[in-house]
Chain A
Amino acid sequence: MSAPQPSLSPEAAPPAAPGAARVSISEIFLTFLVIGATSFGGGVVAYLRNALVISKGWLDEEQFMTALEISQALPGLNATNMSVIVGDRLRGPVGAIAGFLGMTLPGGLLVFALGVFYASNHGNPAMHSVLAGIGAASVGLLAAVTLQIGHKQLEHFTELALVVITVVMVSFLHISLLAVLLTVLPLALFIYRPRSDDRPKIPEEEAP
């Protein structure tokens, strides 16, 4: 598994992965630096797809979706998980570090500068008004993003019930996130467990 090749699914071995030429570390860093510096407003997936699939051709659509599925199933942010996973696939762990640093440096430095400014302007009423406005606007943004991602979950009873259980436990019963995950995730896994009748044939001898 250590061969740094630009393939997201070595097992499936797509004949010629796009961008099969060896990508340089600096190109990985610069590509994610541009994404990290321009992805304003939270829709980082669109920026990633644009750069990695369309502009660079490092991944095809299916490989991109696989990487995104992994990013979403694991803890951590999509933006940084994608930079690590794609960087690793292109050039191994060094590529992952290059992708991660590119992704986080621009926003991280800006937030740090803003944080220093915020700390030294404590009590400035104009600054607090601006931040209060941004905070309120963010609530609208979070509500819209949650509904856009979740509208499918809200149409089916079982999924809606899991959404409601999670919200009530976290927001109203103030149960710790770890306890919520340790109870609701096994319940959900049980509900969506693979049934024997829809089990696809998986070769037993999958070992390489």
Chain B
Amino acid sequence: MSQSNSDLSLLGVFSLLSLLAIGGGTAVLPEMKQLTVEAHHWITDGQFRDIYALGQVAPGPNMLMVIVIGYHVAGTPGALIAFAGFFLPASTLALGASRLWNHFEGSPWRLALQNALAPIVVGLMAAGMIAIARTAITGTETTLLAIAVFALLYFGPKINPALLILAGGAVGYLTLS
């Protein structure tokens, strides 16, 4: 694949994902994995898992991992293209649509849309979790680690998830080497 071809496909893939990301980044994880691993063969299944993990270490928006995928495909320009492709279309839409949204103040369809989106968003988040689990859960250690983090966050005291993510990295270093 020539350089300009891969740049264009990067831009196309991530712009599409940007506009499909209803309910946040987790919702597009299955589609992102399908397009980048299975359709375009840019990265392997294991690299997708690794790159997702890299993105979890950074602050700010959840899906900055697209920068690393772009870097893998086409170096530094690829990183910029993936970033712009994934964040600019949705952000531009947000700029226009938020102004429009206020015109529908009090419209019953606004509430209808919110009610309709809520269960779909939850379903898409669960599907995103399943997509990561399929590559990240590889044996007993990783299963126990995922269950422990879930239990601590869901049933335990209020705790910053970032600490558990880092602890997961430490546990991985000690038990998975």
Residues B45-81 near A (CB distance < 8 A): 49-65, 67-68, 71-72, 79
A15 on the interface (CB 8 Å rule)?
no
Given contacts A75-B20, A170-B124, contact A137 B146 (CB under 8 A): yes
A54 on the interface (CB 8 Å rule)?
no
In the assembled complex, the Cα of A202 lies from the Cα of B89 at a distance in Å of 32
Most chain-B Cβ atoms within 10 A of its Cβ — which of A44, A108, A142, A148? A142
For B30, give its contact among A40, A132, A170, A185 (CB under 8 Å). Answer: A170
Chain B positions within 8 Å of A, measured between CB atoms, are 16, 18-28, 30-31, 34, 49-65, 67-68, 71-72, 79, 83, 87, 89-91, 93-95, 97-99, 101-103, 105-109, 111-133, 135-138, 141-143, 145-154, 160-173, 175-177
Contacts of B118 in A (CB 8 A): 152-153, 159
Contacts of B151 in A (CB 8 A): 140
Q: Once the chains bind, are A79 and B176 in contact (CB under 8 Å)?
A: no
In the assembled complex, the Cα of A78 lies from the Cα of B108 at a distance in Å of 23
Contacts of B20 in A (CB 8 A): 75, 177-178, 181
Chain A positions within 8 Å of B, measured between CB atoms, are 1, 8-12, 35-44, 67, 69-81, 84-85, 88-89, 93, 96, 100, 103-104, 106-108, 110-112, 114-116, 118-119, 125-126, 128-150, 152-154, 158-160, 162-167, 170-171, 174, 176-178, 181, 184-185, 188-189, 191-194, 198-200, 202, 206
In the assembled complex, the Cα of A129 lies from the Cα of B46 at a distance in Å of 12
13 more contacts with CB within 8 A, not counting A104-B61, A107-B58, are A44-B60, A76-B90, A77-B25, A79-B60, A84-B91, A108-B64, A115-B71, A138-B132, A142-B26, A152-B118, A153-B119, A166-B123, A167-B123
Contacts of A154 in B (CB 8 A): 122
A-B contact count (CB 8 A): 388
Given contacts A129-B173, A135-B136, contact A140 B49 (CB under 8 A): no
In the assembled complex, the Cα of A106 lies from the Cα of B137 at a distance in Å of 30
In the assembled complex, the Cα of A73 lies from the Cα of B87 at a distance in Å of 16
Q: Once the chains bind, are A36 and B31 in contact (CB under 8 Å)?
A: no
A139 CB to closest chain B CB (Å) equals: 4
Q: Once the chains bind, are B125 and A141 in contact (CB under 8 Å)?
A: no
Q: Once the chains bind, are B135 and A188 in contact (CB under 8 Å)?
A: no
B127 CB to closest chain A CB (Å) equals: 4
Q: Once the chains bind, are B67 and A40 in contact (CB under 8 Å)?
A: no
Q: Could you write out 24 A-B pairs with CB less than 8 Å apart?
A: A1-B102, A43-B161, A72-B117, A73-B117, A75-B21, A76-B21, A103-B61, A107-B58, A115-B54, A116-B71, A118-B51, A133-B176, A135-B132, A135-B142, A136-B143, A137-B146, A138-B56, A163-B120, A164-B123, A165-B123, A166-B124, A167-B126, A178-B16, A189-B112
